Amino acid sequence: MTEKTDSEQIDDIIAATNGWKHDVFASLRAAIRLGDPDAVEVVKYKKPSQPEGVAFWVHAGDICFINVLKNAVRLTFSKGARITVNDLFNTRLDSKVVRAIDFFESDSVDQDSIAALVSEAVALNLQPKIASTAT
């Protein structure tokens, strides 16, 4: 028996999501791919309460991840607090690190805007790391 790839596992997560949440999740995935065709899909944080795990996209570090909540689909950017194009963020605004967008049933996904956020998040990941100096 062969293990499914992470991308296949994300296919399964999306397939298990019903109605408008399925459509939003699939649209967000397409927008992420548009923003960074080189992003790698990874499934993280499998646990008994969420055996399917969480869909992540990475490129030189975490870019973003998607959670399906009771009343929303949440797209969280791992370094969202550092993203300058931030008028789309509507939750996790008090975090010093992440920022997120909750999509509700009546919302549509602006794929170009999400792609722009993804591109900026990747650019942040690709910035040279500043080495700390110990004295």
pLDDT at 32 over 90: yes
The count of other CB atoms within 10 Å of the CB of residue 72 is 19
**Tell me, which fold does domain 6-126 have in CATH?**
Aspartate Aminotransferase, domain 1 (3.90.1150)
What pLDDT digit, counting tens, does each position of 49-97 carry? Answer: 889 999 999 999 999 999 999 999 999 999 999 998 778 999 999 999 9
Residue-range domain boundaries for the chain: 6-126
User: b or e along 24-42 (b: 16 or more beta carbons within 10 Å of the residue's beta carbon)?
Assistant: bbebbbebbbebbeebebb
Q: Which SS3 state, helix, strand or coil, does residue 130 take?
A: coil
Length of the chain as a residue count: 135
